[in-house]
Amino acid sequence: MVNQRADVGWQSSKSDSSGVSNSGESSKESSRCSTPVLDADRTDRLRDKMKRRIESGDHWFSLEFFPPRTASGAVNLISRFDRMGSGGPLFIDVTWHPAGDPGSDKETSSMMIASTAVNYCGLESVLHLTCCNQTKEKITAHLNKAKRLGLKNIMALRGDPIGEDWVEEDGGFNYATDLVKHIRCEFDDYFDICVAGYPTGHPEAESYDNDLRHLKEKVDAGAHFIVTQLFFRAETFLRFVKNCRAIGITCPILPGIFPIQGYHSLRQLVKLSKLEVPEEIMQVIEPIKDNDAAIRSYGIQQAVEMCKVLLASGEVPGLHFYTLNREVATIEVLRQLGLWAEDPRRPLPWAVSAHPKRKVEDVRPIFWASRPKSYIYRTQDWDDFPNGRWGNSSSPAFGELTDYYLFYLKSKSPKEALLQMWGEELMNEGSVYEVFTNYITGQTNPSGHKVMCLPWNDDPLAPETNLLKDELEKVNRRGILTINSQPNINGKPSSDPIVGWGPAGGYVFQKAYLEFFTSSENVTALLQVLKKYEPRVNYHIVNVQGKNITNAHEMQPNAVTWGIFPGREIIQPTVVDPVSFMYWKDEAFALWIEQWAKLYEDESPSRMIIQYIHDNYFLVNLVDNDFPLDSCLWQVIEDMFALLDSPRETQEEGSQS
């Protein structure tokens, strides 16, 4: 039995225009914490994270990206955030392009890309902000918006002129120092501020020494750390750091690393940054300039050797990589340096958000396990988030999900790829069963394509789900269309590479859980079978119209994942909440139409098959509460099929018992 504190319940609350919480309690009272936050990195400011890493001698890396030009490019970039975020960057930063409406709500804007990285990818993010073509009022508006979106870090830059020469803006700023001062004046200490350094001096500076003095002015105005322009020799950066320290600059200085990836990209970047490429590098690159693979291989080794010298110097706490929105070269450099650390142990069993107001959140319903971005989107207007336990949530107030087109909610796969995976043409419901089965098994479909995602799971199977692969294959083949599952776990170490989460030295527990769509005929038999498994098995069964059949308490959540850690209270981060399930039901059914049926023409046989499943199938979740024993859920399904396969008289007897 999980110990629960009766004085720490939770309800989501949305403030009305008077500022009074709808839950009837003050925000201070409703956000009481029963448990310490698991990971200090979720609450610390970026400057504090840097300080802690410097004191421990733990080197870090960070990554720079630029906003894409197209909506599909935005989808791809968010996928790259997820992949590159798995390596453990301390932060990412997103550049600001004055000509691209960077502060707007467009999916390709700098503001939206940085906001998505924070809120939906859980990445500490730094938003670039430039003085170019902006008034003081416009800059203030951008900063207010950034703060509202959960962004806490700004890279303050003068920026490159839109034309050949810098044009002063009436009522604006001409120097990054003035921008730093403005941020400090208007927002006090809210933002951590980064500024740019130039190891060979800014190309427009009167002299190298004069540029160093300007850099110190930026730091003295309130900047917390420096990221430098790219360079090609380690000694260039180390001399720059020595000179900075000599004039009293004491903040962290991060070297900007550019792994050379191609001849033309190198020429373009050098042109923009007005740098000279050392002769020894050009002598290697010129003969192979038409061989991108050879140049990339050289660029990786050149970056690795330079970074080794930097890290060994004792002057470099971390490395900042200019990725050009690519991942292969940067990841390979980091791997060779031993900095790429895909730690399988997660702080919580689900993907966290880095928004400041969600920093204490440590409980969520299990239903959105494979759609964390959707959950974050639907709860973005909550004022408080559950911490310690979910509590009795009579009105969670989930936002409606109608914006399936949003780039961070769309499938990463284009329509053509989805049709290849899910079928150019469906023949019957069995065709759908085959898609689900191929997703589970990893086998190719009849057209020779692997099914790498489903509308409810946009990624390949998680390692944890692979533990159930054989059983899942059997039931999906027979029309138990699973969209979420977890095995029972009884005291596995928190360091377990598959099911572990939380701090080291703990133990994790899970109840077996199974969630699936199935036909009304199956549900009729299932309900008969479930009678003999009560109270061991709790269930919720609902159709698209909202007909809800359950043996669980209508308001009481059921903890299905929990952990015990040294010196801490029990954490229960995943629950089956009956009220939230009805909100999830709407989304789960809608995905049949929004992401699958709409691939086909109106009135086409394929579309009608998906529409029929949407209209007639039920969504079911099952929880086996006896977690120390082998899961009985597979036996429940087997008994259901046995009843269906038995003579009708037997079924009728079962329904009367």
Alpha helices per DSSP H over 346-462: 372-378, 415-422, 429-441
| Over residues 508-522, mean pLDDT | 98
Contacts of 402 (CB under 8 A, 6+ apart): none
Q: Would you state the CATH architecture of domain 47-260+295-337? A: Alpha-Beta Barrel (3.20)
Residues 454-494: tens digit of each pLDDT: 999 988 888 888 899 999 999 999 999 999 999 999 999 99
Do residues 199 and 228 lie in contact, with contact meaning Cβ atoms separated by under 8 Å? yes
Q: How many helices (H) and strands (E) does the chain have?
A: 22, 18
Which residues form the catalytic set? 64
Residue 371: band (very low, low, confident or very high) from pLDDT cuts 50, 70, 90: very high
Say which residue the tokens 């501020």 belong to: 193
Q: How far apart are CA 475 and CA 478, in angstroms?
A: 5
**pLDDT value, residue 180:** 97
User: Domain residues of the chain, as ranges?
Assistant: 47-260+295-337, 366-485+514-553+579-645
Specify the higher pLDDT residue, 394 or 473: 473
Residues 254-280: tens digit of each pLDDT: 999 999 988 888 888 777 777 888 899
pTM of structure: 0.83
Dihedral angle computed from the Cα positions of residues 367, 369, 372 and 376, in that order, rounded to the nearest 10 degrees: 40
Predicted confidence (pLDDT) at residue 166 exceeds the cutoff of 80: no
SS (H, E, C) 445-509: CCCCCECCCECCECCCCCHHHHCCHHHHHHHHHCCCEEEEEECCEEEEECCCCCCCECCCCCEEE
